[in-house]
Amino acid sequence: MSEKYKVIDSTVPTFITITIVDWVDLFVRPIYCNILDESLNYCIKEKALTVHAYVYMSSHIHLIVTAFDGELQNVVRDFKKYTSKKLIEAIKEHPESRREWLLRKFSFEAQKTGRAKNYKLWQDGFHPVILDNLEKMEQRVNYIHYNPVEAEIVFHERDYVNSSYRNYEQDNTMFCNVEVEQLW
């Protein structure tokens, strides 16, 4: 990982983006998003990850996270490795009209890069951006939550299921699927 994209202090809120190879639209079925939910919640409980905000888009996820007991790079590495295996299993086991194409694509990426055995699902890196003041944090939280509106998936942030927006609403009656610790 180049110095430009290195996490210097895992205890400072950090904006990261984790992307599927070639921006393949994978997160279009609830089963795949459930795998992300379960994996993030595991990292929260077992790896001391704190998730402050998140959104799953069709080809990538944005997160604002801190890792108090470990290196964020290691947590993200483990998250990507585990979710890659679980997502490939889900593609193979559950109804998926694009199954053959997805498996060929991810297999091709593994062969092309030589960095994975059978399948390469995630792009390398996660482009961390340190959020060391409230203005930066607010800007990125708003960016994350507005992403589905910008992509014209929903008309309002609250309508998007795979996001932490509802945890930031004043009259919060619904909670998201990932344990979120708000920044303010």
DSSP string, 102-146: HHHHHHHHHHHHSSSSS---BPS----EE--SHHHHHHHHHHHHH
Residues contacting residue 78 through CB under 8 Å, at least 6 positions apart: 43, 47
Residue spans of beta strands (DSSP E) within 12-169: 14-19, 49-56, 60-67, 129-130
CATH code of residue 56:
3.30.70.1290
The structure's pTM equals 0.91
182 in a domain, yes or no? no
Tell me if 16 is assigned to some domain.
Answer: yes
Domain range for 159 is 3-168
- List all residues 6 or more positions away from 71 whose beta carbon is below 8 Å from its beta carbon: 7, 10
pLDDT at residue 175, rounded to an integer: 62
The answer to whether residue 70 sits within a structural domain is yes
Q: Is residue 173 part of a domain?
A: no
Any domain includes 180: no
| Residue 183 located in a structural domain | no
pLDDT of residue 173: 56
Residue 42 lies in a domain: yes
Inside any domain, residue 8: yes
pLDDT of 4 reads: 52
pLDDT for 44 equals: 94
Count the domains in the chain: 1
H/E stretch holding 73? helix 72-93
Give the residue ranges of the chain where pLDDT is below 50: 1-3
